[in-house]
Structure 1
């Protein structure tokens, strides 16, 4: 009833939010008592209790029962229909049923909006829960019941060809979409985009669906427009904070969802960014609608709109915190654009963590008075669990593991032997902390195991930590150094490629570490599969990264190995020129590769293979199922995916594609 009465002039000139004034004003108190008496008995008690609570907080408590004030108002009052906005009210006002109804219904609508928002939050969280269940069912089917022999199911093949394998648009997935030389963004897979679009549509529907408002001037927020804006803002606030834990779940490295869905880090990263941006959109709707409401309330409270707006935004602690939160959220979204992430990843990561911590603290104090702190607690719990597991992983690998670093060309090969019992599966990776250089920084590296139990990581020199490490090692005698490291892992999926009759492994640059781990696993199993390896590197020096591993897999000549040195001409005596359907170039046997130990490995200089032709020919010649595994730069990954999509329905058996992409940013 505050809004219905606040527009009239009284001698006290109380502002509707000034309870110290209102609760000392007999005219207002008696008017309020007559108004709430029109409600149901239970609603009347709740309304009066709430009003008295505000009065007590303002140090002007009232009687516990409204009936004393009701009798005083009934004795001497003025009828609401007999006064205008210009009338100076000197007696309690008894409003007619229409005014009471509008106020009562608008308050009921407010309760409904908040309750329904909580229900919609549950539905949106259930959306992701259902997706996780479907992913788990798929994983169980693939690992237990799925057979790689025989003709693939036609429906499943079509779904994979048009939904699960391809990029959203065109062929770019790992490689960024550019504007000139500036990298703008990367596109998810088509199925990921369908999921995100579905979530986005649901969120939009729930923002505006079933938002009631009262048509008429006498509402809680003085007009229908203000009321509708406020309720949409309230709905947006609950949708924002209620989905906050999901953003944290997809932003962490450790949670059970990764285990039972089989999703990659890349998939989690895609969903983390999408959910966070949708939540930011909700927060902007919340802030925008509140700005509109606060900008139109002054005239109803006897002050200018701008004066009232400043009082609310800058004078109210909760509203000020909300404004600060929007500013911080804007900074988080801005600095997380792909261009900044990719160009200054270490700076992005440190700033991102700091901003999110500050944002969480600010929003906690913003929402706690309204009873929504449980969502913040859930998000913090997810974050704390992730950090705790990271520490446990480091300790389990050996907190003072010694590593030998060797510089080869523009890369550093790191050999470390974790504690007994630490084991990485083929294709997995670990985050490495080099304690001598910024011990708080970690970088993800694929892992390959030597026969002696040492694990090999190859770090290509870029800006930041990898540059510092490479420069330090290169300055040592023979470009060899020994340091202490922390190993956090292993992480990631290990694909079950041993079930396929033909395995095609394609690596680019340091992507050979992940690919080599699969090749070694198959070799040590004495596999009878047809295994083909294609590796592209810029210079011959890179061949020393995995020298011992190449020796091992090239024994007996069982594996078909092709190495392409794309940035150099042959510096070794040519043996012969070759021409084939995939590429043309100079093939040599490189004695410098592993000191004459595997001179039987052919090397093609200054040429790249046509990956589409390589995949097409492999699928065409295969007598059964084919597994294509790639790891390397963005263009290599996208070309392999394109070739897999084109050939997924061309094989005699199942054709599957597995990708280890360089997509941490």
Structure 2
């Protein structure tokens, strides 16, 4: 029986890999069961000891298969079964099946009646048979049940693998429909007058809302209860025991996928005693579990790769943030890795419960087996190093490890399933295609952003970076010229290709931009007294009239941001504002999409630290739209807190200076480090300077009029309030929501900054939405790994 078991292993691999349709697979089972039984018997003559040569070319075996099939199989199954039999001979034995016509004389009723009828217990099946045979019906039925069970399991494994695509396909379809509905609603909100005396807008909105009240109520309920709130308030951006907490809708999707994957890995296993492949039930179940887990793990691989790329068509179609796709990517990877581990454990248990531990040990000498082990280990380490602690602490190393292990994984998987003649390649080639597509588009974006052929002058312009570090504000400014038209909500990846770690790329929000009006040569020296950040801080820099100067504000911490700061400090170690010019920094982008803040009546922007970079583009966009009459916004309030007073002043008196002159924009600035606040830093225009200075000290609030160090083109900033301490975000949001509800307006709250600030804003906005969900909506600018 041990010999029969070993021979049957070759047959076991035959049935699920022929790629036949479901209907064909069902109708071939009868004949397949027959030649599965006969193939394990020894007949004298051709192909002794060679499975496919014997079962396809030995006249005794072939005659036995034809005779038994005619005796037990339905007539409509014969042609399909014989075709399957012939295909198996060609595919796996590289031989042709003896046609019926060649042995017709041995298949007459008289000839068949002379064949001996054997059962499983007949001792003759252990000898070399010299004549064609028939088998007892009990043996045939057991063989048919064995074959039918194997085919059922194979079909079920494949179907459950495809179910993974059905699940995520449904999620993405819902996301696309949500995006379409959102765009339709935005298009219906035509820009209206920003005149505060105009009261017709609220009436028209109420009429429109009345017409679509059922849909609006349903959408509002979903947004209020699923899309906006965190699954574990107040944690969302803040780590909870080292983990980020998704929103309720994200948790629902992720948990649903875990549950579906777990259930599909655990159900519909048909083990029975007496199976011709493995007589005991335990090895059958372990084998089916191993195959199911392996196929489902392979099915998850294209999904895992699809959700990982930044150039993802579904990001464009759904409008979801990259962090959402990255969340799904990580959980799909964890499930696939767990399935790969189960696959490995189950195969180990299968070999030992079937009594074939010797073959298990010998398998480690085969490359396909060892590379399967390598693939499982690689996946495990990828998941381990992708946990948030590693991503935060050693991002550059994490990224390099991630890429190297992913390449190792793909190569190992190709070799691991090479024994199946490419049957699993449809799962693997998409990984190569997705990765190649993403990398190709990255290169295209880099070339497009950094090289520009101007047909009028027949000149090739390339991007040149200027980097400065403001020690007082602790901010690195990177400014790069490009012809790509900037928009709010965009971020770019920055490279330094000629450095040792030139492959590294880091995402930064586009903070500010300016456009030159003619082609000029700008020459300026960076110093606190003369720096105008609307121009790049380069010594000599040519700017074409169709180019933009993009500014990125980076707070240096570790890794690349610290190295960029150190470059500036080395160039001018004694300067408060050190800089370098002509540095090769490449742009890749733009990525991200603008939120429709223009469709709201009131907008409250809440920024913390360098989060101001995400807010200024929306303010500039509002100013531009207001001038063109293309916005509904009547009032926009910016609340910004930072530890550095110098940072607050410089942004307010430069990038925000023009915006602060508008009556519809209000700004509140908070310096959270009160020990660093110096009232003497301000120039007060009133003769009552001392009295006002004392008032500022007592109330910790004063109106900033002018920076002592500001000269030249720097505008006065006389329309914002400067405070010390942290802003009371819940009170600000509740007050804005109450005001919006009272006036019949729609309020948009957008937050960008440290995790605690963003989570506080989300929780406060959610409370306001519960009271009046149709009037308040929350947006968040955050890039999640």
- Look up the match of 1:11: none
- Look up the match of 1:193: 251
Identify the match of residue 563 of structure 2 among 468, 483, 494. Answer: 468
Q: Structure 1 residues 556 and 33 mapped into 2: Cα distance closer, same or farther (>3 Å)?
A: same
Q: Does 1:537 align with 2:642?
A: yes
Contact 1:405/1:415 (8 A) holds in 2: yes
Distance in 1 between the 2:239 and 2:366 partners?
44
Q: CA deviation at 1:203?
A: 2.3
Distance in 1 between the 2:345 and 2:550 partners?
53
Distance in 2 between the 1:532 and 1:38 partners?
86
Distance in 2 between the 1:542 and 1:16 partners?
82
Q: Does 1:395 align with 2:447?
A: yes
Q: CA deviation at 1:254?
A: 0.8
Q: Provide Cα deviations, 1:27-54, integer angstroms capped at 9, x if missing partner.
A: 9986897478534444764675577569
Contact 2:600/2:747 (8 A) holds in 1: yes
Distance in 2 between the 1:553 and 1:441 partners?
36
Q: Does 1:306 align with 2:343?
A: no
Q: Structure 1 residues 80 and 268 mapped into 2: Cα distance closer, same or farther (>3 Å)?
A: closer
Q: Structure 1 residues 406 and 36 mapped into 2: Cα distance closer, same or farther (>3 Å)?
A: farther
Distance in 2 between the 1:434 and 1:376 partners?
32
Contact 2:41/2:126 (8 A) holds in 1: no
Identify the match of residue 38 of structure 1 among 54, 68, 86. Answer: 68
Contact 1:165/1:641 (8 A) holds in 2: yes
Contact 2:734/2:768 (8 A) holds in 1: yes
Distance in 2 between the 1:507 and 1:653 partners?
24
Tell me the SS of whatever aligns to 1:443.
strand
Identify the match of residue 672 of structure 2 among 525, 549, 566. Answer: 566
Distance in 2 between the 1:418 and 1:17 partners?
75
Distance in 1 between the 2:254 and 2:218 partners?
23
Identify the match of residue 276 of structure 1 among 316, 333, 348. Answer: 333
Q: Does 1:294 align with 2:351?
A: yes
- Look up the match of 2:225: 162
Distance in 2 between the 1:504 and 1:6 partners?
72
Q: Does 1:385 align with 2:426?
A: no
Q: Structure 1 residues 25 and 507 mapped into 2: Cα distance closer, same or farther (>3 Å)?
A: closer
Distance in 1 between the 2:588 and 2:436 partners?
16
Distance in 2 between the 1:317 and 1:488 partners?
40
Gaps of 5+ in 1: 9-14, 299-304
Q: Structure 1 residues 579 and 557 mapped into 2: Cα distance closer, same or farther (>3 Å)?
A: farther
Tell me the SS of whatever aligns to 1:661.
coil
Contact 2:220/2:773 (8 A) holds in 1: no
Q: Structure 1 residues 503 and 600 mapped into 2: Cα distance closer, same or farther (>3 Å)?
A: same
Q: CA deviation at 1:64?
A: 3.6
Distance in 2 between the 1:467 and 1:74 partners?
90
Contact 1:402/1:417 (8 A) holds in 2: yes
Indicate the structure (1 or 2) with the bigger Cα radius of gyration. 2
- Look up the match of 1:427: 489
Q: Does 1:324 align with 2:374?
A: yes
Tell me the SS of whatever aligns to 1:389.
helix
Identify the match of residue 317 of structure 2 among 244, 255, 260. Answer: 260
Q: Provide Cα deviations, 1:373-396, integer angstroms capped at 9, x if missing partner.
A: 012112221111111111111111
User: Matches of residues 568-607 of structure 1 in structure 2 within 5 Å?
Assistant: 568-569=674-675, 570-573=677-680, 575=693, 577=695, 585-587=700-702, 589=704, 591-592=706-707, 595=710, 597-602=715-720, 604-607=722-725
- Look up the match of 1:643: 764
Contact 2:751/2:761 (8 A) holds in 1: yes
Q: CA deviation at 1:625?
A: 0.3
Distance in 2 between the 1:428 and 1:94 partners?
75
Q: CA deviation at 1:216?
A: 1.9
Identify the match of residue 348 of structure 1 among 386, 398, 407. Answer: 398
Contact 2:769/2:775 (8 A) holds in 1: yes
- Look up the match of 1:447: 510
Distance in 2 between the 1:116 and 1:579 partners?
75
Q: Provide Cα deviations, 1:461-509, integer angstroms capped at 9, x if missing partner.
A: 1211111111001222341111122111111120010111100001111
User: Matches of residues 475-624 of structure 1 in structure 2 within 5 Å?
Assistant: 475-477=570-572, 478=575, 479-482=578-581, 483-526=583-626, 529-543=634-648, 544=650, 547-569=653-675, 570-573=677-680, 575=693, 577=695, 585-587=700-702, 589=704, 591-592=706-707, 595=710, 597-602=715-720, 604-622=722-740, 623=743, 624=745
Q: After alignment, is 347-356 or 434-443 more displaced?
A: 434-443
Q: Provide Cα deviations, 1:23-82, integer angstroms capped at 9, x if missing partner.
A: 49989986897478534444764675577569857xxx7974699799999867865324
Distance in 2 between the 1:648 and 1:492 partners?
26
Q: Structure 1 residues 647 and 440 mapped into 2: Cα distance closer, same or farther (>3 Å)?
A: same
Contact 2:475/2:555 (8 A) holds in 1: yes
Cα-Cα RMSD: 3.6
Q: Does 1:97 align with 2:137?
A: yes
Q: Using structure 2 for the length normalisation, give the TM-score.
A: 0.73
Distance in 2 between the 1:333 and 1:280 partners?
8
Q: CA deviation at 1:3?
A: 8.1
Contact 2:464/2:584 (8 A) holds in 1: yes
Q: Provide Cα deviations, 1:609-644, integer angstroms capped at 9, x if missing partner.
A: 111111101111122000111111111111111111
Q: CA deviation at 1:220?
A: 1.9
Tell me the SS of whatever aligns to 2:586.
strand
Distance in 1 between the 2:609 and 2:641 partners?
6
Q: Structure 1 residues 24 and 364 mapped into 2: Cα distance closer, same or farther (>3 Å)?
A: closer
Q: CA deviation at 1:17?
A: 14
Q: Provide Cα deviations, 1:178-197, integer angstroms capped at 9, x if missing partner.
A: 2xxxx2x1121110111122
Q: CA deviation at 1:402?
A: 0.4
- Look up the match of 2:455: none
Q: Structure 1 residues 449 and 111 mapped into 2: Cα distance closer, same or farther (>3 Å)?
A: same
Distance in 2 between the 1:402 and 1:73 partners?
92
Q: Structure 1 residues 555 and 234 mapped into 2: Cα distance closer, same or farther (>3 Å)?
A: same
Distance in 2 between the 1:132 and 1:228 partners?
34
User: Matches of residues 329-340 of structure 1 in structure 2 within 5 Å?
Assistant: 329-340=379-390
Q: Structure 1 residues 576 and 367 mapped into 2: Cα distance closer, same or farther (>3 Å)?
A: farther
Contact 2:704/2:722 (8 A) holds in 1: no
Distance in 2 between the 1:24 and 1:492 partners?
58
Q: Using structure 1 for the length normalisation, give the TM-score.
A: 0.86
Tell me the SS of whatever aligns to 2:668.
strand
Q: Provide Cα deviations, 1:576-628, integer angstroms capped at 9, x if missing partner.
A: 65899xxx744452743872733425454540011111110111112200011
Contact 2:489/2:593 (8 A) holds in 1: yes
Distance in 1 between the 2:708 and 2:279 partners?
81
Gaps of 5+ in 2: 9-38, 190-204, 452-461, 516-547, 681-691
Distance in 1 between the 2:679 and 2:331 partners?
51
